[in-house]
Structure 1
Amino acid sequence: MPATDRAIELCRRAALAASQRKAEEIIAIDVSDRLALTDVFLIASGANDRQVRAIVDVVDEAMLKAGAKRRMREGLTEARWVLLDYGDVVVHIQRSEDRDFYALERLWKDCPAIEIPGLDDMTALDVPDSVEGA
């Protein structure tokens, strides 16, 4: 069963928010046929711990605004690989070198990618005011 429309929309919002903090290599993978725990993995990279934290903050704000409740957040202390679990969507934000090392995309290569409309058009997302200047 493919990812739900709600999961895809939440993923899009998270991806667009991450992009506003200059996240790199943003991809979405439909893991719904392989995992019962979630529908979508969103994977993005940051160059350093400061950028990873900024991406985490803006994604959290965007998801909260969309009505998604975060179930879990792990890895923020070191900010090398932060996992944000919103139920239908799990967001992985990794430092670039960790992303290269762990290569999550290779682990899930048999799962379909999800196109993220509007990723290049940053006007498609209304970012919360509280993170606009972060």
Structure 2
Amino acid sequence: MTATENAVHLARVAAQAAADKLATNLVAFDVSQQLAITDIFLVATAANDRQVGAVVDGIEEALRAHDVRRTRIEGDRDQRWVLIDFLDLVVHVMQAEERELYSLERLWGDCPRIELDVEETR
């Protein structure tokens, strides 16, 4: 089984919203073969605490426009690594240090990557 078309669409919407808030290194993995709880992990890097918050807010706003709301959020107090669970899509917004330390790309690197087709606003 692979990620649903709806999950891929939501990942692209979320990725564009993140890019619009100047997130970088956007990568999405189809984890549906390995996990029963979600289809896609989207990972984005933000430069600092405030930008992490802005990226999270932008993603939530963009997905709300598609009638999708988060089921839970973790890490939003520290703003270093925020995980937003939208069921079919789990978004990780991380500062560079956390992203390097936890290396999600290494952990999920065997999973197929999803082409995001994101336009960077820089």
Which residue matches 1:129?
none
Q: Distance in 2 between matches of 1:20 and 1:121?
A: 7
Q: Distance in 2 between matches of 1:60 and 1:2?
A: 24
Residue type matched to 1:55 in 2?
V
Which residue matches 2:119?
120
Instruction: Quote the offset at 1:8 in angstroms.
Output: 0.2
Q: Distance in 2 between matches of 1:120 and 1:18?
A: 10
RMSD: 0.9
Q: Distance in 1 between matches of 2:109 and 2:64?
A: 29
* CA offset digits 1:31-85 (Å, max 9, x no partner): 0000000000000000100000000000010111111121001111100100000
- Structure 1: gaps (5+ residues): 123-134
TM-score normalised by structure 2 residue count: 0.96
Instruction: Quote the offset at 1:120 in angstroms.
Output: 2.0
Which residue matches 2:41?
41
Residue type matched to 1:14 in 2?
A
- Give the 5 Å matches for 1:66-81: 66-81=66-81
Count of residues paired in the alignment: 121
Q: Distance in 2 between matches of 1:24 and 1:100?
A: 13
Identity of aligned residues (%): 48
Is the 8 Å Cα contact of residues 26 and 45 (structure 2) preserved in structure 1? yes
Query: After TM superposition, which residue ranges in structure 1, 4 or more long, deviate above 6 angstroms?
Result: none
* Residues 121, 96 of structure 1: alpha-carbon distance in 2 compared, 3 angstrom cutoff: closer
Instruction: Quote the offset at 1:121 in angstroms.
Output: 6.4
* CA offset digits 1:78-108 (Å, max 9, x no partner): 0010000000000000011110110001000
* Residues 121, 44 of structure 1: alpha-carbon distance in 2 compared, 3 angstrom cutoff: closer
